[in-house]
C-alpha cells in the first residue's frame, strides 16, 4: 500500500488519456454513458410503465412518499413567495418543519424543472433517482479512467458502484446519499492535484457544494470521502503540494458557505430536542479474510460477492507488484473501507466527548455510511481487475472483465425486483384534492387533518385486513392544495406531536375535538371513502359523531370523500402561540406552555366527579371507560403534557418515553375490602392535556378491574408527580364500591377484553 514511485507515475501518466479536444472527449464519454443507460433500462424494465404513477416500496414506502413531498415543497418554495423554505405544511402550527427531515437541494437541479414541466411529482422523483444511478456509474468510470485503469475495468467499476450498497432494489432513497458524489469529488481532487489552478479549484468547490447540499447524510459522507481522498492525493510525489493544499482548502471553504445558509434552523431545532440514540446496523460489505466461517457462508450464499472479494484481494497484490493503477487505488480504497466500517457502528467510543459526537448526533441511521465502504470496495475490486489485465495475458484479462460483468448483471436483477406502490392521491384522487383546495381557499383557508391515520390508501377494499400509515399519502395529496396539516410523517417530530396524536385518536369526542381546535386552530376534517378505513374502525360511527359535534358546520361530499368545516372559535390562545413559537420543545414547560414546576402550596385543589353512575358489579379484568369531570379549583394551571424525551421520530408516536415529573395525574387504586384479594393496586393515569386554573376538563379514564374476585373500593385522586399531593382543604377525590365477580369463561381460556369499541380513531 505504499505510494507510487516517480517511475510508476510516469507509467501511469502514459496509461491516462492525454488531454483531448472537446469533441474527442465527448466521443470518449458517449460509450460508457450509453452503456450505463442501457444497463439501467434493462434492469428496471418491469417498472418503466409505472414510473409516472408508482413509487418504490423498498426499503420504506413511507419514506419514498416523504422524499417526494419534501422535493415538492422545496420546488414550490423556490417560486412561490407565500411559501417559506423551512416552513413546510405539516405539524401546523409548529415552525420550520422541513428541519424534521432533509433538504435535498442537489436533487432540485433535476427534480424542480421536471415537476414544473410535467406537474407530476411521482414521475419527477423517479426520473431524478434513475439519473442518480446513471451518474454513479458514469462518475466512477471517469474516475477510474483518470487514475489509469483500462476502459473495460473502468466500465466494470462504474457498474459495480451503480449497483452497490443501498442501491438495490431500485429506490428513491438514493437521493439521500447519491453514490455519484463520491467518485465526482475524488475525480475533482485528482484533477486539482495533477495541475493546481483556479479553474480546477472552482470545480472542486462546485462538486463539493453539490455534495454538501444533497442532504445531511450526503454532507457527512462527502466530507469523509473528500478528506480521505485529499490526504491520499497529498501523499503523491507530484510538485506544487502547497498549491494543492491552499487551493483545496479554499475550495472546501467556499463550498461550505451555501451549507451555512441551510444549517442554522437545523442546529437550532437540534438544540431544543434530545435525539434518540442512533440505530447501529453493521452490514457485511465483504467477507472477513480471517474468518473461515464467513468465507463458507459467503461461498454458499454470496458467490458473486465472494468472487469480487477475491478480485479485491488481488488489488492488494497488484499494489505490491507495482501495477500503477492498483498502487493509486489501494490506499484510498482501504481507507474508505476502514472508515466506512467504523462509522457504520455509530459514533466511535473514542469520539464520544468530542465535537464529532455532536456532528454525528443527528445521524439516526449510521448504516448509510455503507456508501463510503462500498466506494472503497469498488476501488479495490477495480484495482484487482486492473492487476489481472496488467499481469496476465491480454485475452485472459478481457475474459475476466467480461466474466465479472456477466456475474454482476446476473447477480443484480434485484435492481428491478422490488415492488411499486400506486400513489392514488396524485392519480385517480388528484381531482378530489384539487377541489378540496378550492373549497378551503374560498372559505378562508386554515389547517386540515385527513382521517383515518391508518388504513388502505387505494381504498379498493381488496385487502380489508391490511393497514398502512396514511399520513405520508395525505402529505402527497396536499401538494395539490398546500393546505397546512396538523400532523405529518417526518424524521424528527415536534414536541407537541404526541398530544396531537392523542387528540386525533379521540377526535370523535367533542372535548378532544375542542382541544385540537384550540391547540392547532384546526379548520377542516377530510374523511377518506369508507373503503379506505380499516375493518376494526368503520367510518360510519366516526362520521356520525363528527356531524353531531357542536364544533362542526358545513359538509361537502366529494366522490365518496367528506370534507367537514370546523366552526368553533379557538380558545386558549396561549396554547397555539406556544406551539407556533417553537417553545413547545422546551424542557421546563409542557408543549402547551405550562411550567413544569411543583404547584405552589395551597394551589393544589381539585375535584373528581363521575359524569354517569358507575356499575356496582363488574367481571374480573373487565375494561371500564367512564367519563369524569376534573375541576381545577386552584390558582395555578395543571401541567400534563411534556414533550417526549428523546424526541419522537417518523411515525413512532406511541409508547414514547414521556417524562412525568411535575405533571398532574389521576391515581387509580383498587382497594380490597375483603381479606382474600390481597394488597391494593395503584396506577397513574396521565391527563390528555393541561388544565388552566378554574377550568373543568372532561376525561375518559380507562380502568381495568382486578384479577381477583371480591369487594373493592375504587379510588381516584389527583396528584402531582414529585410535587403537590392534593390532600388539603377543598379537594374532593372520587370513591366507589364495586363487587368484582369471576368472568364467565375459565381463567385458562379467558383473554383480557379489549377497550370499548370506538374508543379511538387510528
CA–chain centroid gap for 599, Å, is 39
Q: pLDDT of 268-279, one tens digit each? A: 887 776 665 555
User: Quick one: which H or E segment has residue 68?
Assistant: helix 61-79
Q: CA 170, CA 165: separation in Å to the nearest integer?
A: 11
Using the 8-state DSSP alphabet, how is residue 158 labeled?
Answer: H
Sign of the torsion formed by the C-alpha atoms of 506, 509, 515 and 516: positive
Q: What is the DSSP string of 362-430?
A: T-S-GGGGHHHHHHHHHHHHHHHHHHHHHHS-HHHHHHHHHHHHHHHHHH-GGGGTS-EEE-GGGTTTH
Q: Are 478 and 485 in contact (CB under 8 A)?
A: yes
Q: CA 609, CA 10: separation in Å to the nearest integer?
A: 91
User: Quick one: which H or E segment has residue 555?
Assistant: strand 552-558
Q: CA 526, CA 202: separation in Å to the nearest integer?
A: 51
Query: Cell triple for residue 55?
Result: 413509487
The whole-number pLDDT of residue 290 equals 46
CA nearest neighbour of 166 among 154, 153, 181: 181
Q: CA 257, CA 212: separation in Å to the nearest integer?
A: 10
Length of the chain: 762
Q: CA 25, CA 20: separation in Å to the nearest integer?
A: 6
The whole-number pLDDT of residue 750 equals 42
What are the start-end ranges of the H helices in 531-633? 539-548, 573-581
- For the domain 601-741, what is the CATH superfamily, name and number? Immunoglobulins (2.60.40.10)
CA distances for 38 relative to 16, 133, 244, angstroms: 26, 12, 38
The whole-number pLDDT of residue 288 equals 46
CA–chain centroid gap for 656, Å, is 17
CA distances for 94 relative to 99, 497, 500, angstroms: 11, 10, 12
In sequence order, the β-bridge partners of residue 15 are none
CA distances for 465 relative to 260, 532, 537, angstroms: 48, 11, 11
Phi, psi of 342 (to 5 degrees): -65, -45
Q: CA 51, CA 503: separation in Å to the nearest integer?
A: 37
| Residues of the chain scoring pLDDT < 50 | 1-4, 10, 12-17, 280-291, 293-301, 461-462, 747-759
Q: Are 3 and 236 in contact (CB under 8 A)?
A: yes
Query: Cell triple for residue 667?
Result: 391515581
127-158 exposure pattern, b = at least 16 Cβ within 10 A, e = fewer: bbbbbbbbbbbbbbbbbbbbbbbbebbbbbbb
The whole-number pLDDT of residue 287 equals 42
Instruction: Give the 3-state secondary structure of residue 133.
Output: helix
CA nearest neighbour of 108 among 86, 92, 83, 132: 132
Instruction: Give the 3-state secondary structure of residue 275.
Output: coil
Q: Residue 208: CB partners within 8 Å, gap ≥ 6?
A: 185, 188, 222, 226, 251, 252, 255
The whole-number pLDDT of residue 309 equals 78
Q: Are 71 and 104 in contact (CB under 8 A)?
A: yes
Count of CA atoms in the C-beta half-sphere (13 A) of 245 = 9
Q: CA 152, CA 144: separation in Å to the nearest integer?
A: 10
CA nearest neighbour of 3 among 197, 233, 173: 233
Q: Are 492 and 269 in contact (CB under 8 A)?
A: yes
Pairing of strands 623-624, 617-619: unpaired
CA distances for 345 relative to 89, 278, 366, 554, angstroms: 34, 9, 7, 54
The whole-number pLDDT of residue 759 equals 47
Q: Kindly report the pTM of this predicted structure.
A: 0.89
In sequence order, the β-bridge partners of residue 734 are 716
Pairing of strands 552-558, 454-455: unpaired
Q: What is the largest CA-CA distance in the chain?
A: 99
The whole-number pLDDT of residue 657 equals 82
In sequence order, the β-bridge partners of residue 563 are 526, 556
The whole-number pLDDT of residue 397 equals 67
Using the 8-state DSSP alphabet, how is residue 485 labeled?
Answer: B
CA nearest neighbour of 44 among 132, 137, 168, 177: 168
Q: CA 161, CA 178: separation in Å to the nearest integer?
A: 11
Q: CA 432, CA 425: separation in Å to the nearest integer?
A: 9
Q: CA 332, CA 648: separation in Å to the nearest integer?
A: 38
- Which sequence spans correspond to the domains of the chain? 45-416, 424-575, 601-741
- How would you class 259 by CB atoms within 10 Å of its CB: exposed for 0-12, middle for 13-18, buried for 19 or more? middle
Q: CA 563, CA 403: separation in Å to the nearest integer?
A: 60
Q: What torsion do the CA atoms of 503, 509, 513, 514 make, to the nearest 10 degrees?
A: -120
The beta-carbon contacts of 416-420 under 8 Å, at least 24 apart in sequence, are 416/43, 416/44, 416/45, 416/46, 416/47, 416/169, 416/170, 417/169, 418/56, 418/57, 418/58, 418/169, 418/170, 418/171, 419/56, 419/57, 419/58, 420/47, 420/50, 420/54, 420/55, 420/56, 420/57
Terminal C-alpha separation, the chain: 58
Q: pLDDT of 732-749, one tens digit each? A: 999 999 999 998 765 444
CA distances for 338 relative to 70, 277, 332, 342, 393, angstroms: 33, 23, 10, 6, 33
User: Quick one: which H or E segment has residue 226?
Assistant: helix 216-234
- How would you class 418 by CB atoms within 10 Å of its CB: exposed for 0-12, middle for 13-18, buried for 19 or more? middle
Q: What is the DSSP string of 606-630?
A: EEEEESSPPPSEEETT-EE--EEEE
CA nearest neighbour of 579 among 589, 566, 565, 564: 589
Query: Cell triple for residue 685?
Result: 393515569
Q: pLDDT of 417-437, one tens digit each? A: 789 999 999 999 999 999 999
Q: Are 385 and 311 in contact (CB under 8 A)?
A: yes
Phi, psi of 76 (to 5 degrees): -70, -40
CA distances for 452 relative to 168, 493, 501, 542, angstroms: 32, 19, 12, 10
395-417 exposure pattern, b = at least 16 Cβ within 10 A, e = fewer: eebeebbeebbeebbebbeebbe
Q: Are 181 and 210 in contact (CB under 8 A)?
A: yes
Q: Are 622 and 604 in contact (CB under 8 A)?
A: no
The whole-number pLDDT of residue 366 equals 82
The whole-number pLDDT of residue 401 equals 72
The whole-number pLDDT of residue 293 equals 45
Amino acid at each position: 500500500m505504499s505510494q507510487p514511485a516517480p517511475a510508476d507515475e510516469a507509467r501511469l501518466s502514459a496509461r491516462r488519456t492525454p488531454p483531448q479536444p472537446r469533441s474527442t472527449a465527448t466521443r470518449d464519454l458517449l460509450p460508457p454513458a450509453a452503456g450505463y443507460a442501457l444497463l439501467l433500462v434493462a434492469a428496471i424494465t418491469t417498472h418503466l410503465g409505472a414510473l409516472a404513477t408508482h413509487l418504490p416500496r423498498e426499503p420504506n414506502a413511507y419514506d419514498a412518499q416523504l422524499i417526494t413531498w419534501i422535493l415538492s415543497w422545496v420546488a414550490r418554495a423556490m417560486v412561490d413567495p407565500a411559501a417559506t423554505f423551512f416552513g413546510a405544511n405539516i405539524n401546523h402550527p409548529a415552525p420550520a418543519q422541513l428541519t424534521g427531515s432533509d433538504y435535498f437541494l442537489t436533487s432540485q437541479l433535476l427534480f424542480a424543472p421536471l415537476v414544473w414541466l410535467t406537474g407530476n411529482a411521482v414521475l419527477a422523483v423517479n426520473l431524478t433517482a434513475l439519473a442518480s444511478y446513471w451518474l454513479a456509474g458514469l462518475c466512477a468510470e471517469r474516475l477510474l479512467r483518470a487514475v489509469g485503469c483500462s476502459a473495460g475495468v473502468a466500465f466494470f467499476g462504474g457498474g459495480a458502484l451503480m449497483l452497490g450498497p443501498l442501491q438495490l432494489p431500485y429506490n428513491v432513497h438514493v437521493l439521500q446519499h447519491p453514490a455519484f458524489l463520491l467518485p465526482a469529488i475524488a475525480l475533482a481532487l485528482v484533477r486539482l492535484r495533477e495541475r493546481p489552478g483556479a479553474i480546477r479549484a472552482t470545480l472542486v468547490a462546485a462538486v463539493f457544494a453539490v455534495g454538501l447540499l444533497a442532504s445531511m447524510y450526503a454532507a457527512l459522507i462527502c466530507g469523509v470521502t473528500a478528506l480521505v481522498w485529499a490526504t491520499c492525493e497529498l501523499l503523491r510525489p507530484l510538485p506544487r503540494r502547497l498549491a494543492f493544499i491552499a487551493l483545496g482548502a479554499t475550495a472546501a471553504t467556499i463550498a461550505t458557505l451555501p451549507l451555512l445558509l441551510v444549517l442554522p434552523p437545523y442546529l437550532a431545532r437540534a438544540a431544543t430536542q434530545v435525539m434518540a440514540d442512533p440505530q447501529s446496523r453493521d452490514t457485511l460489505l465483504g467477507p472477513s479474510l480471517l474468518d473461515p466461517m464467513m468465507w463458507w457462508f459467503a461461498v454458499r450464499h454470496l458467490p458473486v460477492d465472494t468472487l469480487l472479494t477475491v478480485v479485491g484481494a488481488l488489488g492488494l497484490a497488484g499494489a505490491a507488484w507495482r501495477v500503477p493503477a492498483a498502487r493509486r487505488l489501494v490506499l484510498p480504497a482501504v481507507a474508505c473501507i476502514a472508515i466506512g466500517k467504523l462509522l457504520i457502528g455509530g459514533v466511535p467510543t473514542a469520539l464520544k466527548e468530542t465535537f464529532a459526537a455532536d456532528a454525528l448526533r443527528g445521524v439516526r441511521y449510521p448504516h448509510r455510511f455503507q456508501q463510503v465502504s462500498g466506494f472503497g470496495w469498488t476501488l479495490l475490486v477495480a484495482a484487482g481487475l486492473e492487476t489481472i489485465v496488467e499481469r496476465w495475458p491480454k485475452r485472459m484479462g478481457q475474459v475476466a472483465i467480461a466474466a465479472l460483468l456477466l456475474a454482476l448483471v446476473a447477480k443484480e436483477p434485484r435492481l428491478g425486483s422490488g415492488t411499486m406502490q400506486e400513489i392514488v392521491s396524485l392519480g385517480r384522487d388528484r381531482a378530489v384534492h384539487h377541489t378540496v383546495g378550492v373549497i378551503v381557499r374560498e372559505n378562508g383557508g386554515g389547517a386540515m387533518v385527513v382521517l383515518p391515520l391508518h388504513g388502505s390508501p387505494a381504498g379498493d377494499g381488496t385487502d380489508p385486513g391490511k393497514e398502512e400509515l396514511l399520513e405520508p399519502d395525505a402529505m402527497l395529496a396536499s401538494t395539490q392544495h398546500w393546505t397546512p396539516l396538523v400532523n405529518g410523517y417526518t424524521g424528527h417530530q415536534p414536541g407537541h406531536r404526541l398530544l396531537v396524536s392523542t387528540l386525533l385518536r379521540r377526535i370523535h369526542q367533542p372535548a378532544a375535538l375542542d382541544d385540537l381546535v384550540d391547540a392547532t386552530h384546526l379548520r377542516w376534517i377530510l374523511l377518506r371513502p369508507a373503503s379506505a378505513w380499516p375493518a376494526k374502525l368503520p367510518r360510519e360511527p366516526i362520521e356520525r359523531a363528527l356531524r353531531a359535534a357542536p364544533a362542526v358546520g358545513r359538509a361537502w361530499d366529494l366522490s365518496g370523500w367528506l370534507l367537514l368545516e370546523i366552526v368553533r372559535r379557538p380558545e386558549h390562545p396561549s396554547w397555539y402561540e406556544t406551539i407556533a413559537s417553537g417553545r413547545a420543545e422546551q424542557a421546563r414547560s409542557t408543549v402547551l406552555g405550562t411550567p413544569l414546576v411543583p404547584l405552589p402550596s395551597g394551589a393544589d385543589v381539585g375535584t373528581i366527579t363521575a359524569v354517569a353512575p358507575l356499575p356496582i358489579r363488574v367481571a374480573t379484568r373487565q375494561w371500564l371507560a367512564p367519563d369524569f369531570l376534573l375541576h381545577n379549583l386552584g390558582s395555578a394551571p395543571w401541567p400534563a403534557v411534556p414533550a417526549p424525551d428523546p424526541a419522537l421520530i417518523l411515525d413512532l408516536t406511541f409508547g414514547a418515553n414521556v417524562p412525568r415529573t411535575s405533571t398532574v395525574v389521576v391515581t387509580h387504586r383498587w382497594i380490597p375490602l375483603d381479606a382474600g384479594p390481597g394488597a391494593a393496586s395503584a396506577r397513574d393515569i396521565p391527563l390528555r392535556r393541561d388544565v388552566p386554573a378554574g377550568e373543568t376538563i372532561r376525561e375518559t379514564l380507562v380502568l381495568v378491574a382486578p384479577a381477583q374476585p371480591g369487594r373493592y373500593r375504587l379510588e381516584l385522586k389527583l396528584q402531582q408527580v414529585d410535587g403537590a399531593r392534593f390532600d388539603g382543604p377543598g379537594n374532593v377525590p372520587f370513591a366507589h364500591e364495586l363487587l368484582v365477580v369471576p368472568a364467565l369463561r375459565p381463567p385458562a381460556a379467558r383473554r383480557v377484553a379489549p377497550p370499548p369499541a370506538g374508543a379511538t380513531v387510528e
